[in-house]
Amino acid sequence: MRFLSASQFLLTTLVVKVAVVAVLATMLVRFRQFRRILLTEQRAWRERLVFAAAFGLPLCGGVTARLLLDYNASDLTLAGPFLSGLIAGPYAGAIVGALVGAPALIAGEAIAVPFAVGCGFAGGGLREICPKEAIWRFSPTLFADLHRHAWQLVSRLRVDWVVVLLAAPVGLELLRLGLGFRFGEHLFHMQPPNPWLAVVVVASTVMCVTIPIKIWNTARIEHRLQEQEKLLLAARLEALSNQINPHFLFNTLTSISSLIRSQPDTARTLILKLSRLLRRLLRSQEHFVTLREELASIDEYLDIETARFGPTLAVEKEISEDSLELVMPSMLLQPLVENSIKHGIGRKVGGGRVTIRSRRTGEHAIIEVADNGAGMPPDASGDGRNGGIGLRNVDERLRVIYGENYHLRFESTPGQGTCARIRIPLVDVPRPQAMQAASAER
């Protein structure tokens, strides 16, 4: 007060008051349970009580700070209950009003509780009659478009809910100023020394209502965008997964059809094996499996190829024991093994060998499918996006799930063989013994 006049001190208090409510709204929206309450319009009693407690107790502390420390900027007796009623309903607004008014009543401000509870019911009553989306559009930027809303209200003679929502806190603040002028110390209120500062006081009350709504609505929009992004990602993965099965089935049937005339018994055996493999694929709709489960699926596919090639096809596995529980996208290795057999060993006279390797390096796992077949041309090595449908699918799934830094890479030497390599982050599932031990501890 030594450095500020009465008007300057009042303006500073109002600015700090708006900052306090903005900080409180930002802190509350960081909590998951509070943010979940904002996402639904139909709330159970438990959710309303949680909202009232989460918002009302800090406001009660602000009123207590004002009484004990003479810190007027922390008092939100009007804006707090009105905002609670507007968002969570009349009863939540009334509960917050009772919490906010209780310390003031104890301090001798007899009108505090009725006024605060009335503000809560006023906000709740507006919530009951106006569209819910109109409430979320009630933002601090309304002052810039206020002339347009007023003209629409006058010219079309239709209810503009933005004007109604604005009129409510303005009317309540004017009522508080009137009651404070009439009853003095029985109700806390700002005392503007001139009409211009009275306008500023009313405007600050509106800002204390609109700023939290703006912050919470931004959080709601961000959550919805995240949910839409998750749904889009799931749909994209589903499309990529569905693309694999027809491609795999087409190639396998092509292999079987070439044996029907020359080796009918072998073709019959392959059809039986293929039916078992397809039956397992139909039963499993999971997008992610462990490396152990993926290798079991590869074994079923290799049974088909071994029956086709006979002893000329050798398969070796160099799997580290600590990588078997690694979680990875399902059907990720089958196109790589198929590519090695079809384009590597299939073009080599005398058969060949396919080697599947896995190892852990730091926070990632390296999985390789190598063959000693005919190899690839120099211009075809490198990126998996240059391959066929199956290889492009594998590369795309890696990029969609893990990001642009994860993709399929090839190393090939013509006449010596090809190595397909993927690198994925380490995500393990608990082993059965560890899960049983954990449940026993609990």
Percent of the chain with pLDDT over 90: 26
- Rounded Cα gap, residues 215 and 48, in angstroms: 19
Give the residue, 391 or 112, on which the prediction is more confident: 112
Model pLDDT for residues 304-343, shown as the tens digit of each residue = 777 666 677 888 889 988 888 888 887 788 888 888 887 7
At residue 432, the pLDDT reads 42
Residue 4 CB partners (closer than 8 Å, separation 6+): 12
Q: pLDDT confidence of 238, banded at 50, 70, 90?
A: low
**Predicted pLDDT of residue 150:** 66
State mean pLDDT over 337-363: 82
* pLDDT score for 1: 47
Q: Amino acid identity, residue 301?
A: Y
Here the tokens at position 394 are 């594998």
Q: Report whether pLDDT(98) > 50.
A: yes
Average pLDDT along the chain: 81
Q: Taking a C-beta distance cutoff of 8 angstroms, is the pair 329, 288 a contact?
A: yes
pLDDT of residue 125: 92
pLDDT confidence band for 402 (50 / 70 / 90): confident
Q: Is residue 352 pLDDT above 90, yes or no?
A: no
The per-type count for the chain, helices as H runs and strands as E runs, is 15, 8
Gyration radius (Cα) of the chain, Å: 34
How do residues 261-279 score in pLDDT, each as one tens digit? Answer: 777 887 887 788 777 777 7
Helical segments of 258-323, H only: 264-283, 291-309
| Mean pLDDT to the nearest integer, 92-113 | 92
- Percent of the chain's residues with pLDDT above 70: 81
Q: For 171-179, what is the mean pLDDT?
A: 92
* Bigger pLDDT: 255 vs 27: 27
3-state class (DSSP) for residue 70 = coil
Using the predicted structure, report yes or no on whether residue 383 has a pLDDT greater than 70: no
Instruction: Answer whether residue 235 shows pLDDT above 50.
Output: yes
The more confident residue out of 46 and 273 is 46
- β-partners of residue 98 are none
Does pLDDT of 118 surpass 80?
A: yes
Spatial contact of 328 and 294, defined as CB atoms under 8 Å apart: yes
pLDDT at 126: 92
Give the helix/strand (H/E) hosting 329: strand 327-329
Q: Is residue 326 within 8 Å of residue 289, measured between CB atoms? A: no
pLDDT at 414: 81
pLDDT tens digits, one per residue of 280-292: 666 555 678 888 8
Model confidence pLDDT, tens digit, residues 51-76 = 999 999 999 999 999 999 888 888 99
pLDDT band at 133 (very low <50, low <70, confident <90, very high): confident
How confident is residue 429, by pLDDT bands cut at 50, 70 and 90? low
Contact 17, 73 (CB under 8 A): yes
pLDDT in the model for residue 394: 83
Q: Is the pLDDT of residue 244 over 60?
A: no
| 219 within 8 A of 38, measured Cβ to Cβ | yes
pTM metric for this prediction: 0.61
Question: For the residues 360-364, what does the mean pLDDT come to?
Answer: 86
Number of Cβ atoms within 10 Å of the Cβ of 326: 23
Query: What is the structure's pLDDT at 2?
Result: 62
The single residue listed with the structure tokens 């009863």 is 91
In order of their start, the domains of the chain are 6-228 (no CATH), 258-437 (3.30.565.10)
Say if CB 77 and CB 112 are below 8 A apart.
yes
